Amino acid sequence: DTAVSQTPKYLVTQMGNDKSIKCEQNLGHDTMYWYKQDSKKFLKIMFSYNNKELIINETVPNRFSPKSPDKAHLNLHINSLELGDSAVYFCASSRRPGAGKSSYEQYFGPGTRLTVT
């Protein structure tokens, strides 16, 4: 069973289009994330989300928006796609640490390679 899944695996689209990437986790986690990996393999957090709090990396354009229909899903919507949005997008999930407790590891999906032409 896949713990964190993403669809589609590959997405090729033209500039100006709107697209979505879906993410689902079956681990019972309550916190999910979206990361972007650029062409130089650098990974950067875009969003951190649980059912109470959305934390947005200030460098992320507002064309990007996460939407969570339920705790097991965190989809990524991208409006007006630009060439610079081409990258691999990773979804991840983890349990959320309680106050004073240790953190928990994040489990990553297989990634979605987005190519904007």
Report the interface residues with another protein, using CB under 8 A. 31, 33, 35, 40-45, 48-50, 53, 55, 57, 90, 94, 96-97, 102-103, 105-111
How far apart CA 102 and CA 104 sit, in angstroms, is: 7
Q: If DSSP codes are grouped into helix, strand and coil, which group holds residue 101?
A: coil
Look at the block and give the residue holding tokens 């059912």: 51
How distant, in Å, are the alpha carbons of 83, 105, 117 from that of 25?
29, 14, 30
In the complex, what is the shortest distance from the CB of residue 16 to another protein, in angstroms, rounded to a whole number?
28
Name the residue nearer to another protein (CB basis): 18 or 38.
38
Name the residue nearer to another protein (CB basis): 3 or 15.
3
Name the residue nearer to another protein (CB basis): 7 or 111.
111
